[in-house]
Amino acid sequence: MLGRVLSFSDPVIIKLLQESFIPVVGDDWYHRRRKDDVGKFFRSVVDQTWKAGDWESQGGGGNNRQGIYCFTPSGKMLTEMKNVGGMPREVEGILRRALRTWNELPEADRRPGAIAIPEPSLDPDYHRPVPPGALVLREYSRGLKRDAAGTLAVDDFTFQNTPVWAQRDRAWVLEAEWKSMIPATAIAGDVVELPKPLVQRLIRYHFVEALRGEAGSWAPEHIRTAALKLTVASATDVELRLRLDGSVKLATSDGKVGLEGTLAGDLRVDRTRQAFTRFDAVLVADCWGALNPHNGNSREGRNPVGFSFELGTGAEVDRVPPQWSRLLQPYLKP
């Protein structure tokens, strides 16, 4: 993902995409496995490239099909498929060649409405809608550094000449979980029990340093200490304010990978609607090592990382599933 930042933040490429393409982003992990209309269409496009075939190995997922594809609404490839997201001028060349091929097609194939697209079937094993009634938290993580006085600042480091900016994910708070966090009666100082599945979900799947690639996940035995506390800060007839405090220490058995930090949060509830209006939380943690064996890159030594969470607004981006919801049941019931 880091390499693609270079291309898809390039002003020339942005202009090309806005004026001449309909950009679509998909997760290859899902698309190469799903047995539905979306998966069939994806296969039909890929099978026109050098990545054709081998759909059934590796647990039914086949080899990865990561790359940039330019195709018509009917699924006809317009240029070769390449995985060159970190090379802006190469990506620009692919787009321009695809556009030339498109313009050479018969006008009947290019006119609006030339292809009727019915409502697709969706494979329930690989379709990840937001669970009914769940809250979506937007997660951001960013590499930090400390100066000689210990003051934190953004660390603008690079990886393979690519700037490492904020990484994003989403976290789900299930309906039963957030409802249990709204007490019927409350006064300042009351302690509200945090749902254990939510605590485990956040710790194991979201308190993970993943600045340079896909995140790993913590196993239950990696949790050395975890003390999270939710306290009523104030309560009126209109609004309930909750304060989240805590600390966490995680480490693999050999100690080579770990995370240690403190958490603070400000949660607010509209008591007339019995609904959360704010769910802000920040974790600042020292991290070391790389948890994902397929992403064995991390800054040398112990380095601070900032994690922040905020309540989603229901925008399209909030429909993107959490990274670790690929393994749905372990994610929902950690």
Cβ–Cβ < 8 Å for 324, 331: yes
Q: How many CA atoms lie within 13 A of 71 on its CB side?
A: 20
What whole-number distance in Å separates Cα of residue 137 and Cα of residue 157? 27
What whole-number distance in Å separates Cα of residue 43 and Cα of residue 62? 11
What whole-number distance in Å separates Cα of residue 14 and Cα of residue 20? 10
User: Can you name the residues that pair with 145 across neighbouring β-strands?
Assistant: 153
Q: Around Cβ 56, how many Cβ atoms within 10 Å?
A: 9
Q: Could you list the mean pLDDT of each consecutive 10-residue stretch along the chain, which spans 334 residues?
A: 71 94 91 93 92 80 85 91 76 94 92 88 93 97 90 82 81 98 94 97 95 86 97 96 98 94 97 96 94 71 94 95 95 95
Q: How many CA atoms lie within 13 A of 86 on its CB side?
A: 10
pLDDT score recorded for residue 260: 97
What whole-number distance in Å separates Cα of residue 157 and Cα of residue 300? 12
The gap between the terminal CA atoms of the chain, to the nearest Å, is 27
pLDDT score recorded for residue 300: 81
In this prediction the pTM is 0.89
Helices (H), the chain: 2-8, 11-20, 28-31, 37-46, 57-60, 88-103, 107-110, 175-180, 196-201, 328-332
If DSSP codes are grouped into helix, strand and coil, which group holds residue 78? coil
pLDDT score recorded for residue 237: 94
Cβ–Cβ < 8 Å for 161, 3: no
pLDDT score recorded for residue 296: 58
Cβ–Cβ < 8 Å for 283, 261: yes
DSSP letter assigned to residue 153: E
